[in-house]
Chains A and B, each alone.
Chain A
Amino acid sequence: MVEFKPAGDSALVISFGEVIDENVNRKVHAVARAIEEASPQWLIEVVPTYSTVYVYYDPFMVSYTEVAEAVKHFLSAEPDEEKSRIVEIPTVYGGEFGPDIEFVAQYNGLSVDDVIDIHSKPLYRVYMLGFTPGFAYLGGMDEKIATPRLEKPRLKVPAGSVGIAGKQTGIYPLESPGGWRLIGRTPLKLFDPRKDPPTLLQPGDYVKFVPISEEEFWELYRGGQDND
């Protein structure tokens, strides 16, 4: 079931099958962490995704076969018993911060308050980070608020925007173009290259959206800027 494959001459992929599944993903993070902690000399870095672990190695120090042999020992790593970190994301829903929330409500035959309620209830698992620095692939959104992407993507989505695309939800860490339905915005900085780690969320974390008012948003926003 577990497969090793080369991804070029400087990376080995440990594949646990092509699935989006919480248990598989917990295993992925456990194995990635075990390799990182052992930190063999030839290790450049590890990238855990939904169902694979990419092990980047230094080809001047080690052969592919040696890497494959070495990572076998980490496959027995077990996920932590307790849940990892829970990161609260204060979010203003609706208004200019979430211009599409009414569409999401109408599309699903709900009120705006229902959407806020449904969206802020679950603990979302951070399956992986990618796409742009600090962008989290979250799992666990209720299908009751699933909404298709915009037909024409916006040219500029502000950093911190919380959106819905199909059955997914996520936060834009940086200002960028984007086609997700925007339902709110957080004042938190999701990516700050002057911090270590530079991202607020880490793979394996859990996210909880906490509704706040506009006043609270600006207060937190200013606080965040002052800390720079």
Chain B
Amino acid sequence: MKYKVKESSKKLPDRRTFIQTLGSSCVLLLVPKFLFARENKKGAAWTYSNGYAPSEHYYGMGIDISKCIGCGRCANACKLENDVPREPFFFRTWVERYRIFEDGEVAIDSPNGAADGFKPGSAPEKNLVRNFFVPKICNQCDKPPCVQVCPVGATFKTPDGVVLVDSQYCIGCRYCIQACPYGARYLHPEKRVADKCTFCYHRIVKEKLPACVEVCPTQARIFGELEKKASPLVRFMRMNKISVLKPSLNTEPKVYYANFDMEVR
């Protein structure tokens, strides 16, 4: 049997059509790039009513576990600053105590999110191998799953990288609370909307520190710019070995921990 090579090759476009098609597909491929460029430009021109331009900033937080004394001043100040309900289970930031015993058992507790500090308590029967405090907060993920799942567009990332909740627009469906792998969100019992840490957005746009950073007596928390070389946070990240929570989830947290322990979850 003979293959009809000639016939099939006839169907191929001639050189001119080929080059034309190639050219136009290259142009088409670039279209999304231009679309996104327009998006970015839209954000770049944005200034808030107080003259603050979000596109000139990019924020993150550093937490040095070896400096935290578990005084809970951060959790307490956060509740005062942001009108977070005083009773347990509602936190924008909280502190966990990790106790790792000789037999490998790990005890984690956080009485009232540490807003009243930790009580000495009775000595454990087992010997402690390692023990320390871990302050927790919304990680202001660069790829926030909470934003992806919101059905109405009530939670979003600002050009300066802070994830916010629009409390007028939130329908209280709790999807984002489920989606956050860090348990950083809660449903506000009075407003019936999702709430979480905003890096004290109302403060940082006025060049003030977040309340928890302001009151931390040991400078265990460092707030600053990620994309400016002369920033306390960038220095912190240069001087320490840095870890983030649950890196495998690809959420790209912007809360960076120093002196991290394997047991921290």
Partners in one complex: no
